[in-house]
Structure 1
Amino acid sequence: MFSAATHRSETQVFRFSCELRHEIDPGQLQHALEETLLDFEAFRVVMKKGIFWHYLEDASLVPEIRQEDRPPCGPLYRGHRPSLLFDVTYFQSTINLEVFHVLSDGAGALSFFKALILKYLSLGMEIPWEEVVPHLTLPSSLSAMKADSFEHHTTGRKIRRIKSPRALRLRGIRYPQNRLKAIRIHLPAKEALTMAKSHQGTLTAFVCACLMRAIWEEFTPRRRKKAPLVISIPVDLRKYYPTDSLRNFFNSILISWPKGKDLPDLEELTIWVDQELKEETRPERLAERMNLFSAIERNMGIKLVPLFIKNIALKIAYDLGQRKNTAILSNVGVIRMEEPFASEIKAMDVCVSTEKMELTMVTYGDVLSVTVTTPFMNPEIQRRWVRLWTDGGLSAQIACNMLDRRDEQ
């Protein structure tokens, strides 16, 4: 699906960033990358076209780090020549890992990224790798890294079709040349969690409620009556089904506020979102979605369709699916490092390419990092989202990859 849905304005690429407390040594980073890849050979692959499917093929390519000189989350798959499906860059004190979603999802890529950061730091601190390995959870084997977890955990039970109506869609003037605006907000993690609990919800539920409230103001009362406001939230299935696979193993749930119904105050909305999250992540509900996804892949009629026709059909299916959500919220969770490495890291960030609006969040230490990416120039949704936190007494550090007059106000 990701390969078929890739185009100039939706590269299907996401990025992890790690800000250290010192300038990056390029030679040391290159050495660390080559060493790390020896433990993650599942990442040393290229994507090729078959008669019926794209497929991943082992390669002997050696990745080369480079200083960052391009916009975030640009295209990584280049069909005209074989290339690895990830990229490592650096700028000043920050290391970036960008990954094409065909290769892995956020949880799988994070395992690789953590190993890379620890390898880099251990080289600089002259700590033997044998002493670092206990800090990591490495896959048991190459075959385990490449395993199709959907196939392994699908039950094959009768599928109940999940119907979802079209959602409210964001509109506006887009940046030229398919550029993305990425606004990064750093909040104090402990205070953010306390604020979420004071609104009777988890951190994810409260962040989602704030996003819904910020987006709600974009729509006129007339448009609110025509379609629901829907936030799509990816769920890492590894939390529910054990696997060592680095390949994609997630599903998305939809938090949908009914059309024509007024949005309640923030606390009531947070409580409602929290209840919806609990309902949608019940094992039975997750199994339904997983079985539906696997049934499409196993369908013999689809398997035998030539790739060039299949790409058209999958692209249409992807676009129709995207119409069923207004925005996306992805919570990577808490990243933990142990000493002596933890104190060398200032913050972790994550962002993703999108054709609409996506809010991604990750916590490291006492920094909750939230990045909102969007192709739209108007920053009002982001501004309203931040104000919901600052009005509650939290301080926010904000950075942006591109500025215009409205951002400076």
Structure 2
Amino acid sequence: MRGDKSWYQLDNAGKLYSSIISSRATTLFRLSATLTSPIYPDLLQEALELTLQRFPFFKVQLKQGFFWYYFEGTDQMPQVEKERYYPCMSLSIKKRGSFPYRVYYYNNRIALELSHSMTDGTGGLKFLGELVKQYLHLKEGIPIEQEEISDEQLEAETENGFRRYYDKSIPAPKTKLGNSFKLPLELDKKGYYHIVTGIIPVEALKKKAKEYDVSITIFLTAIYIQSLLTIQERTSRRKRPVVINVPVNMRSYFPSDTMRNFFVSITPSIDARLGKYEFEEIIQEVKIEFSRLLTPKKLKQYIKQSVISEKSLMLRLMPSPIKDMVAPSIYSFFGEGQYTSGLSNLGIVRVPSEMEKYIERVECYPPPSIGNKVKAILTSYKEHMYISFGNLSKDRMLEREFFRSIRELGIQVTIETNDEENEDGLLSEMRN
């Protein structure tokens, strides 16, 4: 993809996300790095331009074709902006001259918000890492080699991993989930996205997860499900399954250097209609489900599912303006409408040793969703894990229950929120 007039097709996930974008479901997720000193906007702009030399396929804008959207190279340059109040909102990537991402600064923080039509968390972290590296080179003089991307790298980093590993002989999984429990929440006003972040010592989590002989991801997924079951018991007379959407980074199972979307979702669940579950039972159920689904053979079924949905003759022949009208409803019903909530783990963030002393924390926020009004995403940097909830409603019932459950297990949590109007009350409630 060389030159400003180059273009490339969206990957399978990107095609879906480009069609469901709305003022509430913006498809934007946020990755941020908080440094030890205030950000200089002019240096950040220069760092962004250097980063785009390394990743030229990010210097694109979304264009509408007759059947599908696509990305087209541009000679325009994105501009860094001072951060606004609510994250992951108010970016129309379909607007002429817009980019499918933006770079914010605020005090010591560099924030990158990307549309899922372009990339996933792994690709986004790689872009953010390069941006911070270039910035620290300019401001602090850390030594780096300015890397030029070869044609082979460019092809590898823009490949469609779904197509590469698609095997038409493998059957798609049977994934009909039925009616799952939904949190009884009302949407807040448009443009409002409430974030609550819990900061937890990684070693304390490791130690507690080890007591149950599971990974941190399984441990936290079980707490998440337990919290939702508790809320259902309290708020709903009719019991339904609690189903969690857990994205899986496919690069961990299939070799790929792609910077585009390359993930599938598994759906661990507990059927509350079968009776009350103790925490140990929930952990064992989740452990079994992860073990059963997280194998290359099983995951290839999910790749098949992703590709065949795009290959549907009706969908392929439907003009893109019509897709824009019907896709949100289809996604709400067959996609996130089947889940209770979502929990994503971007894993451990590591940076070169010469950068570590300049970076205090790295965290992420999930994309807002009408189908799942509350979702959570987590990442680890140095000795802390950052678990961030994104919420389109005013109610914090899930956040309160989740962090209360962690505290009851003897793990210390520090809570932060962007809800300045209710900050004191929220933090007080979550501490009790």
The TM-score by the shorter chain falls in which range?
Answer: over 0.9
1:32–1:116: 8 Å Cα contact kept in structure 2?
yes
| Match status 1:273 vs 2:290 | no
Alignment of 1:41-56 (within 5 A): 41-56=56-71
Name whichever of 387-396 and 180-189 sits farther off.
387-396
The corresponding residue for 1:407 is 426
Report the Cα offset of residue 218 of structure 1. Answer: 1.7
SS at match of 2:39: coil
Distance in 1 separating the partners of 2:150 and 2:222:
35
Match of 1:237 among 241, 247, 250: 250
Residue 337 of structure 1: how far off its partner (Å):
1.5
Q: State which of 140, 165, 172 in structure 2 corresponds to 1:153.
A: 165
| Corresponding residue for residue 141 of structure 1 | 153
Q: Which residue of 2 aligns with 1:77?
A: 92
Alignment partner of 2:352: what SS? coil
2:135 corresponds to 1:120: yes
1:342 equivalent to 2:352? Answer: no
Counterpart contact for 2:142–2:355, Cα < 8 Å: no
When residues 6 and 27 of structure 1 are mapped into structure 2, their CA distance, relative to the original with a 3 A threshold, is: same
Q: Is the 8 A contact 1:224 1:259 kept in 2?
A: no
Kindly provide the amino acid, as one letter, of the partner of residue 341 in structure 2: A
What is the CA distance between 1:302 and its match in structure 2?
2.1
Could you list the runs of 5+ residues in structure 1 that have no partner in the other structure?
none
- Mean CA deviation greater in 142-151 or 89-98: 142-151
**Contact persistence 2:39–2:107 (CA under 8 A):** yes
| Change beyond 3 A, Cα 1:98–1:327 | same
Residue of 69, 73, 98 corresponding to 2:113: 98
Match of 1:290 in 2: 303
Q: For structure 1, which segment, 94-103 or 63-72, has the greater mean C-alpha deviation from structure 2 after superposition?
A: 63-72
The Cα shift of 1:224 comes to 6.8
What is the match of residue 198 of structure 1? 211
Tell me which moved more, 113-122 or 165-174.
Answer: 165-174
The number of aligned residues is 406
Note the C-alpha offset of 1:158: 4.5
> Quick check: 2:102–2:113 contact (8 Å CA) kept in 1?
yes
SS of equivalent to 1:252 = strand
Aligned CA distance change for structure 1 residues 188 and 269 (closer, same or farther; 3 Å): same
With the length of structure 1 as denominator, give the TM-score of the two structures: 0.94
SS at match of 1:242: coil
1-structure distance, mates of 2:150, 2:408 = 43
Q: How does 1:7-26 map to 2 (within 5 A)?
A: 7-26=22-41
Whole-Å Cα distance in 1 between the matches of residues 213 and 39 of structure 2? 42
Q: By how many angstroms is 1:272 displaced? A: 2.0
Please, which moves more after superposition, 301-310 or 89-98? 301-310
In the alignment, which residue of structure 1 is the partner of 2:273?
A: 260
Taking the TM superposition and a 5 Å limit, the aligned residue runs for 1:206-221 are: 206-220=219-233
Aligned to 1:333: 347
Structure 1 residue 200 displacement after superposition: 2.4
Are the structure 2 counterparts of residues 158 and 271 from structure 1 closer, same or farther at C-alpha, using a change threshold of 3 Å?
Answer: closer
Is contact 1:168–1:224 with CA below 8 Å preserved after alignment? no
Do the aligned partners of 1:263 and 1:269 also contact (CA within 8 Å) in 2? no
Alpha-carbon offset, residue 265 of structure 1: 2.4
| Distance in 2 between residues matched to 1:90 and 1:291, nearest whole Å | 40
Q: Which runs of 5+ in 2 are unaligned?
A: 1-15
8 Å Cα contact 1:180/1:353 also seen in 2: no
